[in-house]
Amino acid sequence: MSTLNQIIVLLFCLVFLNLSYAQNGKDKTINPIVVIDPGHGGKDAGATTRNGIKEKDIALGIASKIVVLNNTLFKDPLMLFLTRYTDTLISLGDRTQLAKKLKADIFISIHCNQAINRTASGTEVFIHPKSEVQAEESAYLGFTIQKGLADLLGIKDRGIKYGNFQVLRDNDYSNATILLELGFLSQTDEAIYLTKEESQNAVALVVFKSIIEFLEL
């Protein structure tokens, strides 16, 4: 997608969000609590692109941009927390403990994928539900985000899968709990896309917009 197209998408999203948020105007005393977990950190770099860009930095970059969107552009519709704000390694247990302590409504762990097959591309959402409600809510949140990324940014949707990841397995507190793989760093086009600042802004906006849509704010 060209930079011009990305700017058009961003403008479209901004107008859409402003309108839908203003029209609804629900007066909630407590905003929904959302925990975003940028995967890896510190000595755990996660996957890397061929030119050495690390998954931990892409995940933190996108998560930080979601915080900026929430705080500055949209006046805090979400009570949003990250499990890490810097390049540090947080234990998997502490990541889910934060969601538990905050009684988070939504928990999203952000990652990028890697595969031996260098042509593999697209987003994947993993869930590990503990209840029928968590299964339905998690799948619907994942579906909403993947649909947004596919429709607005043209990122292939590889579907929702069952994944036995500790951050999902240990989280029975949040209604919607997903691990989001945003694309493959082993695939050249997606690696280039995900490392660009403007692409990260576009992805952050689509994820943020999808959370707002999911919560019917």
Catalytic residues: 181
Cβ of residue 44: shortest distance to Zn ion, in angstroms? 9
Q: How far is the CB of 162 from Zn ion (least distance, A)?
A: 17
Closest CB to Zn ion among residues 137, 181: 181
In whole angstroms, give the CA distance from residue 12 to residue 9: 5
Count how many Cα atoms sit within 13 Å of the Cα of residue 189 in the half-sphere of its side chain. Answer: 9
> What is the C-alpha separation between 127 and 81, in angstroms, rounded?
20
Min CB(40)–Zn ion separation in Å: 6
- Nearer CB in complex with Zn ion: 105/124: 124
Q: How far is the CB of 110 from Zn ion (least distance, A)?
A: 8
Separation CA 144–CA 199 (nearest Å): 19
- Terminal Cα-to-Cα distance of the chain (whole angstroms): 29
Helix (H, G, I), strand (E, B) or coil at 92: helix
Residue 114 or 210 having the CB closest to Zn ion = 114
Element (H, E) at 66: helix 55-68
Residues at the site binding Zn ion, with contacts judged by CB under 5 A: 39, 46, 111
Question: At what angle are helices 132-153 and 197-214 packed, to 10 degrees?
Answer: 140
Output the CA torsion sign for 6, 141, 61, 195: negative
Residue 111 or 128 with smaller CB distance to Zn ion? 111
